[in-house]
Amino acid sequence: MRLLFLFLDGIGLGADDPQSNPFARANTPFLHDLLGGHNLTASAAPFEGERVSLLALDAGLGVDGLPQSATGQAVLLTGVNIPKELGYHYGPKPNPEVAAYLRNGHTLFSWLRNNNQTAALLNAYPPRYFEGIDSGKRLFSSIPLALTNAGLPLFTHEDFFAGRALSADFTGHGWHDFLGFPDAPLLSPQEAGRKTAGLAAQYDFSLFEYWASDYAGHKQDMDWAVRQLEALDGVLHGLLEAWDDNQGLILLTSDHGNMEDLSTRRHTDARVPLLVIGKTTAREQFTRGMADLTHVAPGIWRMLGEV
């Protein structure tokens, strides 16, 4: 069993309103067909299709205030209701109290490594990211913090150019256009999806972190959000063309709502989507009893053989 986790920061299940919700406006024919003619909005969940299940997960976890990235991501990686234990949501980067939950031995990455299973974060990071971390001017977000605490490496620009990792936008255009790498390899969205499937096939568990969705929500940038979703639709198309459902599952979920409601630049209290792609029996096993963010990590442990 292999498991690929596509983490999209800041996407909730919003209204069927193309004026405020890019999920209701974007042209995403592949995802639309996958969901039986529905958009990825609140009215579509729950859904059971031939190859996909869609659930709506509670990201608020019984704690007042709007969900935030640091605690939401930490919950996804640990299965612990961290906001409830702390009494607050927190983000975007972990404070010491949140970081304490991401120590070695407490997260998916450390559990997998301690059980001799292979795991990777498929994102490549440019040199200036590491320079910022080393200088103390930048802090790890929850996902790379959990990875490095487990003793696993972050991929570098060398890994990206060697084809061992993906750019944060899947296609490489960010590296080419904004990071100053004119020779950066560029992929179409479908090519990037096929590339993602090939990389994920090398690990028992792989995770890809996509943060630009949250950024678009904060900027209330409809045009950019629509372009992101239309590119993501192509990525999913290529990914599912190359993915063998007999080998494992693909998960797509988020930490909190944001981009689904561009009438505000703040996070939302919307439920977040959980898309599970694969064989029906595996999907049923993974989604059993799943209702909120705390259930995702136990579901992954269950699928990968908790001991």
Task: Give the pLDDT of residue 305.
Answer: 84
CA-to-CA distance for 162 and 165, rounded, in angstroms?
8
Report strand pairing: 248-253 vs 47-48: unpaired
Report the Cα–Cα distance between both ends of the chain, in Å, rounded.
15
Q: Where are the alpha helices (DSSP H) in 115-172?
A: 127-135, 142-149, 157-161
pLDDT at 307: 37
Residues 240, 185, 239, CA angle at the centre, nearest 5°? Answer: 5
Please tell me whether residue 172 adopts helix, strand or coil conformation: coil
C-alpha span between 259 and 287 (Å, rounded)? 25
Residue whose C-alpha is closest to residue 60's, from 256, 261, 218: 256
Per-residue pLDDT tens digits for 218-243: 999 999 999 999 999 999 999 999 99
pLDDT, tens digit, for every residue of 138-150? 999 999 999 999 9
Which alpha helices (H) appear in 206-273, and where do they start and end? Answer: 212-219, 222-242
Strand partners, 205: 3, 119
Distance separating alpha carbons of residues 154 and 133, to the nearest angstrom = 12
Residue with tokens 């702390």: 86
The secondary element (H helix, E strand) that includes residue 205 is strand 205-210
Half-sphere exposure of 285 (CA within 13 A, CB side): 14
**Sign of the CA dihedral 184, 187, 193, 194?**
negative
Q: Which tens digit of pLDDT belongs to each residue from 154-203? A: 999 999 999 999 999 999 999 999 999 999 999 999 999 999 999 999 99
CA distance 295 to 144: 21
Order of strands across the sheet that contains 47-48? 47-48, 52-57, 272-277, 248-253, 2-8, 205-210, 119-121
**Cβ–Cβ contacts within 10 Å for residue 215, how many?**
16
The pair phi, psi for residue 75, each rounded to 5°, is: -65, -45
Among 227, 305, 223, 255, which Cα is nearest to 6's? 255
pLDDT of 31-88, one tens digit each? 999 999 999 999 999 999 999 999 999 999 999 999 999 999 999 999 999 999 999 9
Structure tokens at 106: 């407490």
Q: Percent of the chain, pLDDT > 70?
A: 99
Token pair for residue 262? 């561009």
Residues 301, 307: Cα–Cα separation, whole Å: 9
Query: 């981009």: which residue's tokens?
Result: 259
pLDDT in tens, 240-284: 999 999 999 999 999 999 999 999 999 999 999 999 999 999 999
What residue has token string 């209702």?
291
Tell me the pLDDT of the chain averaged across its residues. Answer: 96
Can you list the domains of the chain with their CATH numbers?
A: 2-303 (3.40.720.10)
Rg of the chain on CA atoms, in Å: 18
Q: What are residue 53's DSSP bridge partners?
A: 48, 276
